[in-house]
Each structure stands twice: as structure tokens, then as C-alpha cells.
Amino acid sequence: YFIESCDSPSFPNHTYCRYLQDLCVIGDLLSSTAREINMGHSNNLPYPAIKQWEDFSASLVASTKDYLDHCCNLGTEALCQGAKPEDLAARIDANMQAAHATISHQLAESCAVLLRTRNKLVSPFYHFPKEVTSEIFLNVVYDYTNYTNKQQPKSLPADEEVKLIYHRLCKLLKVCSTWREIVVSTRLLWLVIPLVETHSGKQLPFELALERSSRTKQHLAYINNMQSPALQDVLMEVLQKYGDCFHNINLSTISLDATAQAIQILLQHDTSLSLSKLSIKTNDYANHRVATSHHPFYLFDPDSPDVTSFAKLVGALSTFYISNTYIYWNTITFSSRLVELCISHIALSEGEPIFQLLYALNSASELCDLKIISLSTRRDSEVTFDPKIYPMVVLPNLQSLHLQSLYSNTLEVLLSKIAPGTHRLTLYFGRETLQANVSGMPHQNDPNLVDISPLCAILKAVQVDTLLLSMDWGGPWLVGGVFRRLLKAMPTLKTLKMDGWVFDRDDSWSLKHLTRSINGPEDSQDSLPPALENIYLNDVAICDQANFREMVLSHSPQQVILGGREAFAFSLEGAQFKPLQESSELVQWLRSKVPNTRLVDSEYRLPEFYEGEWRLW
């Protein structure tokens, strides 16, 4: 039943083989142990089933010999007794077509059954505890890291991850009958109900998953990026029948109407005891515009009773992800159940909508993990920002706050109104972070001309733990001098993670800007960049080894993760690069200075840089 995925190149076969080898080794140990235990037992104990089978075997051998003797004497004796030759020949033909064909088929089938039984009994996996095998299978099927042959974490879109899960199941099912029985009977392997369109137009076996998972904390994954009406109909039918059974629901639709219809059906069920996590994404980017209280692209009309019902549903969740889908935040009151919240790709004005969002956040008293990604707020150029008009958000149990791809004015609102605490603050900057989103004011595209003074003032007022910077497809958006000013505005910064940057020899992006030394008139011993404990440089290009070494020595980091290329030759056309390897002089020097150094593949990308992508989990 597993269509089109069984030979998919996306399956990490070396991972599968690694688990297989581990199983074989452990299975051999268990098998030998079992044999040692059984050596003290007699092999001739009168087990009724074995004795009965042996008796039938002996009886069959005797009957076969008697039958052979009768066959040998049939012609002579029958003719002596007066049988007609043509009648005897006809009877022999009939017997061979009926009895002999049946006997041959049953003997062949019994041989096959005995061989399967024998092979199963001598297999190491027969002595392997089913519970342990099932646990290993779970680790294979739900391997979130998705290792490639370079052992680098790779983020997959939600639909591809669902296909990968079922591809892995298919591989396990094909190994042997023992594995197949375990896979089929292990309900946790079938928790993901796959409502995902494949490129061939066929559907993954969602009905099989519904049956085999036995409604045990099922995870409904509906990703319809191809706008398939048939798949949408299946979703509505599944929600009608099983809406109160799902523990997790992930809805990624192509239109707001499809999202609303699915939620309306879900609201017909009592999900308060079953549904724990809800993820909603609408891929219609006509929605991505500044929201007002009269926004026409909200999930429901403001007067619809579904608004209240949906708010009640959200209030009972422990995890809530929402992307590019507008809801009335003034109706939302989170309960003490909520521990994880992610809001992404939503545009609001700095008036009533953002005010309502902050009030909703304030109700999440047990919230541990908060992510806000690409939340765009627009400020009126004629209105002066007054933080006093916004409510202070107090989250006493917050452990992690992740803010990504936000304009500086949005950062100002969030950082000034989320009360300081012991939580870890991670900032993921993009080119929009360097400037404010103010109505009537054009954006400055030249990174050398951007005024970051307001942003620096915002950063100095908070304690930043981790900073992420990624080069985007638009090219360099941050120059070295601006980067250094940002670092100096975050004196508590402990971890820096950079992805895709080119560290030149000239002053525009030299590693000198990251070095803790006096580089110019703006520097002093009291205004240097913070001493970093963890430095992650992935997919980077290093043109000047001397600057790199000076930078590392100036920080004395506890950990360095490095991946990318180093320049080995220069010409008028530019630098020539080669991948960093264990044998590289720079890597060996780095290990001598920072023992906790890890070299990763040149294309390695940290999982944090995939936070903005829609994931299955």
C-alpha cells in the first residue's frame, strides 16, 4: 500500500543500516544467552503440539509409502480383476488432476510454512524483546534530525517529513515477517495520519494508519499545498468521523476558506480532553497585510458564534502554532495548560490589534516557550510611541523567548512589554530588523546608511543570550561596522550563531569587527563586544586566517562549531576556496586553543535557522 515512496532517495539508508546492524549484534547476544539458558532443559520433553506434529509426519510417510505401493501394482492388479484399460486410464487422469495436484500444493505449502517457522526460531530477532525492537523502530521512523550522508541536520517541509515517515515504515515492513508483525502491531508507529498529496496524485494510507494506531494520541497531518479538492474532501470526512480522537492536528491549507471549514467541523466535537496541540497555517499570502479590527481576512466573521467556540478550543490547548491566519485576540484567554506558543507571519497595526495580542499573552501564566516570527507591526508616522499605553506581559514560567525577523519598532514593543525574567532571549535578525516599519517612510536599502541608534537603545535595555544572523538571497544586508555596534549593544550576549557569511580581508566584513580589541575611536576597554562563550560559524567563507585566530583568542570561547570554506589563493578575480577539513591547519590550530571544537560539513545548517519554516512537529 505504500505508493511511490519505497525507492525515495530521501530515505537515509545508512541510518537504517546502522540501526539494523545494532539490532543484529544485540539480537545475537540475546540468542546465544537464550541457548545457554535452554541447554539445561531436555529437548525430548513431551510437548503435545510437537508430538502431534511428529505423529502426523510419521503417519504421512507411512501413508505415502502405502500409496506408492498401490500405484506400482495398480495396472497389473486392476487388469487381472477385469478392469477395462480405457476406464483405468481415465481414472488415473482424473486422480492426478485432483488428488495429486492438491497433495503437491499442500506439501509445498507445508514446506514453506515449516521453513518460515524454522527461520523465525533460529533468527536472533526471535529472542529479541519486542518492546526493545519497537522502541528502536520508533527511533528510526521518527528520527527528527533527518541525517543525510554528511550527518547534517536537514529540515524538511511538513509534507516531505510525513512522506519520509511512511517511506521508513515501508522499508521496515519489507525486511522480514518478524519485523512486519512488530511494525503492524506497534500502534505508536502509526500515530501520524497522513493527509498529504503526493506528486503522483495518490494518497498515503491514512485509513490504515487510523486502524493500526487504534486512536492512540493520533497526529493528523493535513498539508494540501497543491490545492487538491479531493484531499480537502477527505479532510472534512475524517474530521467529521474522528474529530474528537486527535491529540495533535496540523493544518496547512492553501486558502482561508479551507482552514475555516476544517475548524468549523472540528468545533462540532468536544475536543477538550483529546486535543493538545493545534497548528494552523494558511498559505494564501493575500492575507499578509496590516490587520485592523475590520480586517476582511480573519478566520471567522466577528459576529459568528464560531469566534467564541474557537477561543474556547484554543484556551484548552497545551501547544498552539498559528501562521498567516488572523484571529480575534481579544477573545482569546489561554489556560494554565498552554506551555508552547508560536505566532508567525502576521501583520498588525500598533493600535488595538497588537494591544489585544499582548493582553492574550498575559493570560498564559504557565507558558514556557514563546516564538514570535515575522510579526509585522506598522507605526503611524504622526504618532509618538508610548510604551505606557500597552499592558505589561508577565510570564513567570517562561524559559525561552525567540524573536525572529521583526522590524525594530515591533522589537521595541515586545521587548519593552514582556517583563524581564530568567528566560533565555534569542534574537534572529534579518534585514528588516535594522529599521522601523513606519507608514509613509521608505525603507533604506543601503546597509551603510541605516541608522541603528534606535535599535541599539532597545537592545541595551534587555539581556540577550543568543544572536542568530543568516545571509539571505538578497545579498549582504549587514556591514561589519554596524554589526560591531550591535554586538556592543548586547553586553550579556553568550552565544553567536552565523550562517552563510563571507569574512573578507577588507574592512567591510573583516573578522576584526567580531574581535574584542580596540579597533577604532569608538572603542574603549569599557565598550568592547561581549566575550562570547559559544561561537557557531556555519557555511562561512574565511579569507584571512590571521584575523580568525585573533578573533578566537580575544573571546576564549568554551565551544566553537565551524563549517565552511577557507581561501587558499587570491587573484584579481577573487579568492579561491577549499572546504575546511580535519587536516586543515586552521582546524588543528583551533582544536589546540578550544578543545570543545566541532567541525561540521560545509553545508551544515543549524536547526535554529529553520525556525521560520512550517514543520510537522
In contact, 562 and 588? CB cutoff 8 Å: no
> 242-261: per-residue pLDDT in tens?
888 899 999 998 888 899 99
Pairing of strands 502-503, 559-571: unpaired
585 domain residue, yes or no: yes
Q: Mean pLDDT throughout 93-103?
A: 83
Domain encompassing residue 482: 464-617
Cell of 598: 566541532
Q: Distance between CA 243 and CA 215 in Å, rounded?
A: 11
Task: Tell whether pTM > 0.85.
Answer: no
8 domain residue, yes or no: yes
In contact, 255 and 228? CB cutoff 8 Å: no
3-state secondary structure of 16: helix
In contact, 252 and 614? CB cutoff 8 Å: yes
123 domain residue, yes or no: yes
Own/partner pairs, 469-474, CB within 8 angstroms, 24+ separation: 469/428, 469/429, 469/496, 469/497, 469/498, 469/499, 469/501, 470/428, 470/430, 470/498, 470/499, 470/500, 470/609, 471/499, 471/500, 471/501, 471/502, 472/430, 472/431, 474/431
Spatial neighbors of 507 by CB under 8 A, at least 6 apart, are 480
> 360-378: per-residue pLDDT in tens?
999 999 999 999 999 988 8
Q: Distance between CA 362 and CA 140 in Å, rounded?
A: 40
Extended strands (E) in 260-303: 277-282
- Boundary-marking domain end, from 216, 235, 255: 216
The predicted pLDDT at position 3 comes to 32
Bridge partners (DSSP) listed for residue 260: none
Q: To the nearest whole number, what is the mean pLDDT of the chain?
A: 82
> 200-254: per-residue pLDDT in tens?
666 677 777 878 877 667 889 998 877 788 889 999 999 999 888 899 999 998 8
133 domain residue, yes or no: yes
pLDDT at 78 over 90: no
The predicted pLDDT at position 15 comes to 47
242 domain residue, yes or no: no
Cα torsion 164, 170, 171, 172: sign: positive
- Please tell me the least confidently modeled range out of 190-204, 268-282, 412-426: 190-204
Q: Distance between CA 8 and CA 31 in Å, rounded?
A: 34
Q: What total number of domains does the chain contain?
A: 2
505 domain residue, yes or no: yes
> 491-508: per-residue pLDDT in tens?
999 999 999 888 887 766
563 domain residue, yes or no: yes
Pairing of strands 495-499, 218-223: unpaired
- Boundary-marking domain end, from 170, 192, 216: 216
pLDDT at 563 over 70: yes
Q: 213 vs 76, which has greater pLDDT?
A: 76
171 domain residue, yes or no: yes
- Please classify residue 198 by burial: count the beta carbons closer than 10 Å to its beta carbon, then call 0-12 exposed, 13-18 middle and 19+ buried: middle
Cell of 351: 493600535
Confidence of residue 22 (pLDDT cuts 50, 70, 90): low
Q: Of 451, 476, 466, whose CA–CA distance to 609 is shortest? A: 466
> 261-296: per-residue pLDDT in tens?
999 999 999 988 889 999 999 987 555 455 444 555
Cell of 366: 504557565
In contact, 311 and 331? CB cutoff 8 Å: yes
- Boundary-marking domain end, from 192, 216, 240: 216
